[in-house]
A and B are shown apart, each in its own frame.
Chain A
Amino acid sequence: MPTLINTQGVVEDTALTPVTLKEWQANPSEYAGKELELSVNSDETVDLFGADADQFKRICIDFPKFADGRGYSAARLLREKYGYKGELRSTGDVLIDQLFFMKRCGFDTFALREDQVLEDAIAAFSTFTNPYQNDVQDQRPLFRRRQG
């Protein structure tokens, strides 16, 4: 079992109605009025569901392998292009050394792979103090934040 964390520590999971993109697209009305958790795989790019993102209380983006970086763009587009305000969770091959990037791209919970050391994982969220780029947390790149 993966360990569910946010940037502070372990969090309790909340039960929602799980649905895959295929299931939901096949029959959206079946899920009306339910609190939904959408799970997407990394082939399911956000252009396929971004416009409907607000239908879901939580969206889980799968990282089939840590080296598959599509989920970063997916999260960022959901937050910045589609204005998604719900919970974004990274699932699958979620390792310590991806966490800082994931946080910056707009994920707020992380299904940390079970073999990963919790303390190291929490520490990884503060790897860099002032990154160069803008991100979901701060729309200003360093050149708009730099003093003097």
Chain B
Amino acid sequence: MYVYDEYDQQLLNERVAQFKGQTERYFAGKIAEDEFLPLRLQNGIYVQRYAPMLRIAVPYGALNSAQFRKLGHIARTYDKGYAHISTRQNVQFNWPALEDCPQILAELAEVQMHAVQTSGNCIRNTTTDEYAGVIAEEIVDPRPYCEVIRQWSTFHPEFAFLPRKFKIAVNAVPTEDRAAIAMHDVGLNIVKNDAGEIGFRVLVGGGLGRTPILGDYINEFLPEEDLLTYLDAIIRVYNQFGNRKQKYKALIKFLVKALGMDRMRELVNEEFGRIKDGEGKLTQAEIERVKKHFTDPDYKALSDEPAELVSAREENKAFARWLDRNVRKHKKPGYAVVTLTLKKIGTPPGDITAEQFDQVADLADEYSFGELRSTHHQNLVLADVEQTQLFALWQKLKALGFATPTLGLLTDMICCPGGDFCALANAKSIPISQDIQKRFDDLDYLNDLGEIDLNISGCMNACGHHHVGNIGILGVDKGGEEFYQVTLGGNSGGNKADDASLGKIVGPSFAREEVADVVAKILDYYVAQRTEGESFLEVYRRLGHGPFKEVAYADAN
């Protein structure tokens, strides 16, 4: 992963000092509440229902074991002993005191971590595929480009006060899109042209929230060295002409809609043409410099399916099930990619305790070159595990509660913190996830259902990505009571980047105690209608919305 040099470290140290000074001036009454707001937001601090929330950046989900231990230390020392993995691959602390935040950020800087631009109307953390660099299907490792974007976007002098937040995601796999790039302000799909050169198909104007829109292509092939100047051009157009009068119309998707894609492209190209060959143009030397941080670790020469793995799989059904579900093929023979599912029944999705931070850090050191990743599905990944070690690792993960063999299945839900923590939420979301986990706890049934995305958001800001869940659940407020709207047919990326779709609402919302029943009815109908191997989404798309809607309200209590 990327290791800071003296320049990176100096910038981060100066940021820590800057925020410390700002906080001191705030407590001394020299900065008004509303003027301190964007300063603390751009350092990851929200004021939530009960306490500030501190959102730590995990650039494109990359972590090492020292950083992970530091997060455990912070959970233990400054919080209530746990933290939460977010859908932007970040880590959130729910209970720190504002007074402690400068010190927390200083401690994070010691391990090259920070909370820079994890909130506020600025360029946020860039996300990518959690399997980047270890799968054979990708065109090229997307992480160096994410790092280049991270540096360019960090304290950008012109784009700290945009009309609204701005999110970028990168995908490098032609057949899948785990980064969900169509739901981002800018989505970058790495492609190779006929000459074998690397470039980007650039999507603009996607996003969820109260007006979900999928991004559309603004550029079919952007050469890699034009990446930063093109992004400068897009955001410069947005910064000048984006809507600043209405908060709910301020995202770039509304500008693209208002101008039309042709006009948007024209404005971007005009500005891009002016700056593309200037000093801001990315150099091959810089791309190579950053790429050197993402070279392969010291892999051994091994073969797939070693004897101990084969026999352990035959002897232990639970291990075999975990292998099938949570372990993925690695590009190197003899290695495997292991996902740690943070979706144990009784635990809020994505939650992790201080002790678990330490224990997972130890596992990363022992089994995966000391590195790990956080995922958009709120799980963790050990990306470089020797296949001979899988059985031993599985036993340890089971003890930790991170071996629930449900990756990609119904109960591997995406879920925002909801009304239990968040001041914006209209309804709680964690209890819904727990109702569903309890109702659908039969592994045979879950496996038989196959891969289904079920996403839960506690309000229309859509942090739980309900619009792109195959089944989406949205908390709504009806006269002070919590209700839940169900959507069907959403898809965040699916089998190819152009396959994303937004879910459609089935109808009037349901009371909390009805939600699990409604999900059950929808699933029963799917099982009855499917042909061999047909997924939930495929059946939904084949039969259409009508029959599912009917089923959802049949025999309503």
Which A positions have Cβ atoms within 8 angstroms of B? 42, 45-46, 66-70, 72-74, 76-77, 80-81, 95-98, 100-101, 104-105, 117, 120, 127-135, 139-144, 146
Give the distance in Å from the alpha carbon of A144 to the alpha carbon of B155 in the complex.
17
Across the interface, A144 reaches (CB within 8 A) one of B11, B15, B236, B279, namely B279
Give the distance in Å from the alpha carbon of A68 to the alpha carbon of B152 in the complex.
21
Q: Can you identify 14 A-B contacts, CB atoms within 8 angstroms?
A: A46-B240, A66-B161, A69-B161, A72-B159, A73-B240, A74-B240, A100-B157, A101-B160, A127-B14, A129-B10, A129-B14, A131-B11, A132-B11, A143-B151
Give the distance in Å from the alpha carbon of A141 to the alpha carbon of B283 in the complex.
10
For residue A70, which residues in chain B have a CB less than 8 angstroms away from its CB? 239-240, 244
How far apart are B332's CB and chain A's nearest CB, in angstroms?
31
Known contacts A72-B239, A132-B11; is-contact A144 B283 (Cβ 8 Å): yes
Q: Establish whether residues A141 and B158, one from each chain, have CB atoms under 8 Å apart when the complex forms.
A: no
Interface residue ranges of B225-258 to A (CB < 8 Å): 228, 236, 239-241, 244
Q: Establish whether residues B244 and A68, one from each chain, have CB atoms under 8 Å apart when the complex forms.
A: yes
For residue A131, which residues in chain B have a CB less than 8 angstroms away from its CB? 11, 155, 157
For residue B278, which residues in chain A have a CB less than 8 angstroms away from its CB? 134, 139
How far apart are B449's CB and chain A's nearest CB, in angstroms?
47
Interface string of B259-275 (1 = CB under 8 A from A): 00000000000000011
How far apart are B14's CB and chain A's nearest CB, in angstroms?
5
Specify the chain A residue showing the minimal Cβ separation from B22. Answer: A97
For residue B280, which residues in chain A have a CB less than 8 angstroms away from its CB? 133-134, 139, 141
Interface string of B144-166 (1 = CB under 8 A from A): 00000001101111111110000
Q: Establish whether residues B160 and A132, one from each chain, have CB atoms under 8 Å apart when the complex forms.
A: no
Give the distance in Å from the alpha carbon of A142 to the alpha carbon of B5 in the complex.
12
Q: Does B111 contact A (CB under 8 A)?
A: no
For residue B11, which residues in chain A have a CB less than 8 angstroms away from its CB? 128-132
Give the distance in Å from the alpha carbon of A127 to the alpha carbon of B14 in the complex.
7
Give the distance in Å from the alpha carbon of A120 to the alpha carbon of B21 in the complex.
9
Known contacts A66-B38, A128-B11; is-contact A72 B152 (Cβ 8 Å): no
Give the distance in Å from the alpha carbon of A131 to the alpha carbon of B18 in the complex.
14
What 4 A-B pairs have minimum CB-CB distances, sorted nearest first? A69-B161, A104-B157, A143-B286, A139-B279
Among A45, A74, A130: residue with most chain B CB under 10 A? A130
Interface residue ranges of B20-60 to A (CB < 8 Å): 21-22, 25, 30-31, 35, 38-39
How far apart are A62's CB and chain B's nearest CB, in angstroms?
13
Known contacts A128-B14, A129-B10; is-contact A45 B279 (Cβ 8 Å): no
Q: Does B282 contact A (CB under 8 A)?
A: yes
Total A-B residue contacts, Cβ distance less than 8 Å: 109
For residue B157, which residues in chain A have a CB less than 8 angstroms away from its CB? 72, 76, 100-101, 104-105, 131, 133, 135
Q: Does B445 contact A (CB under 8 A)?
A: no
For residue B18, which residues in chain A have a CB less than 8 angstroms away from its CB? 127-128
Known contacts A73-B158, A101-B158, A132-B151; is-contact A143 B240 (Cβ 8 Å): no
How far apart are A104's CB and chain B's nearest CB, in angstroms?
4
Query: Chain B interface secondary structure, helix, strand, loop or mixed?
Result: helix
Which B positions have Cβ atoms within 8 angstroms of A? 5, 7, 10-11, 14-15, 18, 21-22, 25, 30-31, 35, 38-39, 121, 151-152, 154-162, 228, 236, 239-241, 244, 274-275, 278-280, 282-283, 285-286, 289
For residue B21, which residues in chain A have a CB less than 8 angstroms away from its CB? 120
Q: Establish whether residues B35 and A66, one from each chain, have CB atoms under 8 Å apart when the complex forms.
A: yes
Q: Establish whether residues A132 and B155, one from each chain, have CB atoms under 8 Å apart when the complex forms.
A: yes
Across the interface, B158 reaches (CB within 8 A) one of A66, A105, A128, A139, namely A105
Give the distance in Å from the alpha carbon of A56 to the alpha carbon of B280 in the complex.
28
Q: Establish whether residues A73 and B239, one from each chain, have CB atoms under 8 Å apart when the complex forms.
A: yes
Q: Establish whether residues B14 and A141, one from each chain, have CB atoms under 8 Å apart when the complex forms.
A: no
Give the distance in Å from the alpha carbon of A49 to the alpha carbon of B18 in the complex.
36
For residue B154, which residues in chain A have a CB less than 8 angstroms away from its CB? 132
How far apart are B373's CB and chain A's nearest CB, in angstroms?
24
How far apart are B158's CB and chain A's nearest CB, in angstroms?
4
For residue A127, which residues in chain B have a CB less than 8 angstroms away from its CB? 14, 18
Give the distance in Å from the alpha carbon of A96 to the alpha carbon of B19 in the complex.
13
How far apart are A98's CB and chain B's nearest CB, in angstroms?
8
Known contacts A70-B239, A120-B25, A127-B14; is-contact A140 B155 (Cβ 8 Å): no
Across the interface, A68 reaches (CB within 8 A) one of B31, B158, B161, B283, namely B161
Q: Establish whether residues A69 and B152, one from each chain, have CB atoms under 8 Å apart when the complex forms.
A: no
How far apart are B19's CB and chain A's nearest CB, in angstroms?
10
Known contacts A143-B286, A144-B283; is-contact A69 B239 (Cβ 8 Å): yes
Q: Establish whether residues B240 and A45, one from each chain, have CB atoms under 8 Å apart when the complex forms.
A: yes
For residue B14, which residues in chain A have a CB less than 8 angstroms away from its CB? 127-129
Q: Establish whether residues B152 and A132, one from each chain, have CB atoms under 8 Å apart when the complex forms.
A: yes
For residue A146, which residues in chain B have a CB less than 8 angstroms away from its CB? 5, 7, 289
Specify the chain B residue showing the minimal Cβ separation from A81. Answer: B274
For residue A46, which residues in chain B have a CB less than 8 angstroms away from its CB? 240
Known contacts A73-B239, A81-B274; is-contact A134 B121 (Cβ 8 Å): no
